[in-house]
Amino acid sequence: MADQRREQGDGRDPREGAQDVPRGRGRTALPEEARAWEALVATARRTVAEGLVVGTSGNVSVRVGETVLVTPSGVPYDRLTPDDITGVALDGRQVLGTLVPTSELPMHLAIHRSTDARAVVHTHAVHATAVSTLVPELPTIHYMSAALGGPVRVAPYATYGTDELAENMLRALADRTACLLQNHGTMAHGATLDQAYDRTAQLEWMCRLWLTASSVPGLSPTLLTPEQLDEVGEKLKGYGQR
């Protein structure tokens, strides 16, 4: 949200501010970090192309060793280049690049410190954000809730970019790989960028499904029971190619 506001401010490219910071701050990116940055930028652009964010309102991170690469604050994703690589240590110190990291860095670092996730995707997806304003937990409208660890919780609202929001998010993510952020958006993580993105897209689809089913006058959607979700969860462990 803050990133989007910066973009809409005076019309300047946020990278212009980098001239105030000595070039070459931090170390040179390793080959694997450069490859991960390329994949991160592709994922960030995908969130825009597929309607999960508007402008620069979301953010993406991927962990390489002890370094977390993150989208920078306020830079449209289609303008990002290999030279814009932005990375921080797990304690938040910037170790790569000169651009200011996303304002949602506390949430990304909280996940990378507390889980075995290697990638995180945050969006302001419309249907998911709408659901976050209506219920404390996404009703179990579809069995793919099990693929996210169970019923998707809504983290209580807190101001963007704060430790309070990061703490609320971590509680909502307990034993889950995705959650909703009240009046804000989505957060999902995974072992890869593709997995984190797919979980984000799946969450947005389930929110759209529930809103659609709930909009029929005089009818309420049938929901799955905890037992039915548990059964699916076991079945999903063997899903896909071996």
User: Which pLDDT score, from 0 to 100, does residue 241 have?
Assistant: 57
Radius of gyration of the chain (CA): 18
Give tens-digit pLDDT for 8-56: 333 334 334 333 333 346 789 999 999 999 999 999 999 999 999 998 8
User: Which pLDDT score, from 0 to 100, does residue 240 have?
Assistant: 63
CA distance linking residue 11 with residue 178, whole number of Å: 34
* DSSP letter for each residue of 32-50: HHHHHHHHHHHHHHHHHHT
User: Which pLDDT score, from 0 to 100, does residue 88 have?
Assistant: 98
Tokens 């039915």 appear where? 228
User: The whole model's pTM is what?
Assistant: 0.88
CA distance linking residue 176 with residue 170, whole number of Å: 10
Tokens 């507390």 appear where? 114
Supply angle C-alpha 158, 113, 36, rounded to 5: 105
User: Which pLDDT score, from 0 to 100, does residue 165 have?
Assistant: 98
User: Which pLDDT score, from 0 to 100, does residue 56 have?
Assistant: 86
Give the residues across from 181 on adjacent strands: 155, 185
Distances (CA, A) of 39 to 45, 72, 87, 182: 10, 15, 14, 29
User: Which pLDDT score, from 0 to 100, does residue 237 have?
Assistant: 83
CA distance linking residue 188 with residue 170, whole number of Å: 11
Pairing of the two strands 154-155 and 178-181:
parallel
Give tens-digit pLDDT for 151-206: 999 999 999 999 999 999 999 999 999 999 999 999 999 999 999 999 999 999 99
* Mean pLDDT value across residues 208-229: 97
Where in the sequence numbering do the catalytic residues fall?
A: 104
Contacts 24+ apart (CB under 8 A), 209-215: 209/141, 209/142, 210/131, 210/138, 210/139, 210/141, 211/127, 211/130, 211/131, 213/141
